[in-house]
Structures are given as structure tokens and as C-alpha cells.
Amino acid sequence: MRTTIIPAFGLLASLIVSGTAPAQTYSLAESPREAECFRLTSETNLGGTLKVTRECKPVTIRISAKNEHTFAERVLAADNRVAKKALRHYSTAVSRATVDGDRVERNLPAEHRLIVAQRTGDSLQCYSPVAPLTRTEVEVVSEHFETLHLTGLLPGKDVTVGESWKIDSGVAQSVCLFDGLISHTLTAKLKDVAAGTATIGIEGGAKGIENGALAELTIAAEVQFDLEKKRIVNVIWKQKDVRDQGPVSPAAEVETTTVLKRELLAETPAELGPAAMARIPAEEPASTAHHLLHRDPRNRFQFLYSREWHMVGQTDHHIVMRLLDRGDFVAQVTLTNWRNAGAGKHISPEDFEKLTAGGAGWKPEEVLERGEVPTDGGRWVYHVTARGELEGSKVMQNFYVAASADGDQMILTFTMRPASATRMGTRDLALVNAIEFIKK
């Protein structure tokens, strides 16, 4: 009896042991290190609709776009498995779009191809260490697929095929380019391992705020990780966006597909070498380094302005901008290029006050302040602050006129609800003082 029972027990034991043997694990971890350099190539295709209002009627506009970026990236600072700051040199940075049948192309000029990208808290800042960027230029380099937190998509540990993990909220906010994350359900899963490459699937949704508007994203992505090199080498990122109308952007429904290729470089490329590193400030740059430049198309004036101001309209004589503070709409400013008064002359305070009191739909109730504003550069600035009613709404308006020694003049009208006046602070005066009249 023993001779028949023992072999049977041995066979059963071997089956139990083989059935409970641990599945093979794979280390999916990559921690960026300072001075590492990568070559990245991304191509994004976008299609969908914008929803705008024309003549008080809702209108749907078709939009399509293709963005191409190739850049070398050098890690300047890293923490907690992600890069925090990087120096980039773009060899290609172009966005081609067709909006309502009109073609628009945006490029990065050669003098601005060296870019610092830095994630601080909720904010992504891309700036040139050489000279201020324009709004268009900063959009070209900051609205492609963001790679600073790319390695945060990995679990940072050993996992088995079929195992899942939730994406960190900070990483989700970064890859979704949100100013603020409300919630997300992004989950990654090791789908397969073949020929030394681990394929990771990422699915789920994310809800957040961008430029003051609510955005809901649905994502289906695939990441390829080279097990030998221990690097992410390829990404295919598919995303569907449904965005509400915001204070500086229209409502939109678009779908995008991004294909990203990533390669670790054995040597530091010349464009990110000592000469480029010497351009980066030793300390954190002043806030003015992040300011944007607007130059009048007719070369009459230019000014630097904080990125909190967003341009929403422009004609030959007017510029309309809106101020967002942490995604909240604070104020609107209209800059009006006024007629030249002649060398050494400017509009009189009395005439300026009459002008500010007679705006269309504006019913002033009380002048709160008036007087000259101290300035420099041989300029003259006068301001009037009044409260009243504009098209049926209670508002406060700050009116400024700035004049150069040559008689060039600019009128700036800041409009806000009374409760927002404290949030405006001195940002109106900063914009006024930034106006630079260009000598003919």
C-alpha cells in the first residue's frame, strides 16, 4: 500500500509546488539623474471642434492640427523619480493648424530654441534664458506632450504581467497639462513582455482646470519600456478632451494622438554643453524672466507682461487682455493706441477725464482717485479710478494714459468687479509702466 500511496502523494505535492510558484517579475523603474541627456521626437495629430459665439449665436468651428517637435533634453534637477527641471534645445518646433478653413503655422525662431522647462508646484514654466518669449512661442514649447514627469508613469518597483497600479496625482496633472487637478482615475497595467520590451497600458479619465476652464480627459495610452536599458523608449498617447468655455478660451471637443520616441544619449550634445549651461542663471531667475513679450505688428510699441495676462482680442488700434489668478478671472484690460499729441505734449488731465466718463455703456457714479503717476524715461502717466455701472453690471475701472516725450500715447482701461480690486493689486500699474514706445 505504501508503494502506491507515496508516489501518488509525491505527484500531488509537485503539482501543488508548481502551481504556487511565483510568477516572473520585471523591474519597471527609471529615476532621472542630473546631467543625463535624451533625444526626443514627438508628433501630435489633433482633430475636433471649437464652440464660439458669433453675432450672439453659437457656432461650431472645425479644427485640425499637426505638431512636430524634436529636441535634446538635459536633466538639471530631479526628485522622487521624476525630473523637475530640464534644459532643452529644439531642432524642430512647429505647429500647423487649420481653423475654420484658415491655415495657421507657428514656429520657434532660431534665437529662442534654447528653453528651460521647470515644474514648480502646480505650474509648468517654459522660458528662454536668452530673451523673453512671445505668447505664441511659449505655447509652441509648452503645449506638446510633457516629458518632465514621464518616468512617473512607471511603478518604480518589480511587477508581474497583468499587475496594475494607479498613477500618482502629481504625475497625472503634469502629463495632462492641468493648472489644477480635480480628480483622476488613470491606472497603468503591465500588459506584456516580449523581446526585452515591457508594454504598459494606461487608461482612465482626468478632470482638471486649464486657463480657468473645466476640462475632462479620457486617455488610452501605451508605454514601451526597454528592460535592458531600463528606459522608457516609446509612448503612444491617445486622448479625448471635452473642455468648457473659459475666460480666455472657447469650449472644445477634440481628440489627439501623440507618438513619442525617446533615446538616452551617450554624450552631452554640443547644443546643451558648457556654453548653453552658462546662460542659465545660478539662482532662480526673477519673475521678469518668465514674462512674455508683445510687439506691435506695426512696430509702434512693445511691452513685457506677466503670463497671468492672456490676449483675447487684437485689432490695429486695440488689444484686449484678461487677467487670471489661479484660474479665476480677475479683470480685463483694453489697450488703445491713441493719437500722437506732438513732441513734448500729451492729452490734458481734464480732457482725459471727459474721455473716460463717456465710454459706451458706461455710467460713472463716483471718481475714487485721480492724478499723475510717478514714472521714468521722460514719460507722463495720468490715471483715474472710478466706480459705476457698465452695461448693467457694477464695476470698477482704472483708466490710465501713458505718453512718451515724442507725444506717442496709449490709453489702458482696466475693468473689474469691485470685489476683485484687491486681487488686481499693482498689476495694472506694472503693465502701464511696461509700455515702451518705439522711436521711428
Name the DSSP class of 375: -
For the chain, give every residue range classified as CATH 3.40.1000.10: 291-437
Q: Taking 60 as the threshold, does the pLDDT of residue 2 lie above it?
A: no
Q: Taking 60 as the threshold, does the pLDDT of residue 7 lie above it?
A: no
Angle value at C-alpha 247, between 244 and 248, nearest 5 degrees: 95
Q: Cell numbers for 384, please give them.
A: 483715474
For the chain, give every residue range classified as CATH 2.30.230: 26-277
Q: Taking 90 as the threshold, does the pLDDT of residue 97 lie above it?
A: yes
Pairing relationship of beta strands 393-403 and 380-390 according to DSSP bridges = antiparallel
Select the more confidently predicted residue: 285 or 20. Answer: 285
Q: Taking 90 as the threshold, does the pLDDT of residue 158 lie above it?
A: yes
Q: Taking 90 as the threshold, does the pLDDT of residue 150 lie above it?
A: yes
Q: Taking 60 as the threshold, does the pLDDT of residue 364 lie above it?
A: yes
Select the more confidently predicted residue: 381 or 12. Answer: 381
Overall size of the chain counted in residues: 440
Please write the tens of the pLDDT for every residue from 178-235.
Answer: 999 999 999 999 999 999 999 999 999 999 999 999 999 999 999 999 999 999 999 9
Class of CATH domain 291-437: alpha beta
pLDDT of residue 432: 96
**Who's near 343: CB < 8 A, 6+ residues apart?**
405, 406, 407
In this structure, are residues 237 and 221 in contact, taking their beta carbons and an 8 Å threshold? yes
Q: Taking 80 as the threshold, does the pLDDT of residue 10 lie above it?
A: no
Cα–Cα distance, 213 to 223 (Å, whole number): 29
In this structure, are residues 268 and 74 in contact, taking their beta carbons and an 8 Å threshold? yes
Please write the tens of the pLDDT for every residue from 414-437.
Answer: 999 999 999 999 999 999 999 999
CA distance readout (Å), 348 to 100, 351, 357: 45, 5, 14
Helix (H) or strand (E) holding 432: helix 427-434
pTM given for the model: 0.89
Please write the tens of the pLDDT for every residue from 292-333.
Answer: 999 999 999 999 999 999 999 999 999 999 999 988 999 999
CATH 3.40.50 at 26-277, yes or no: no
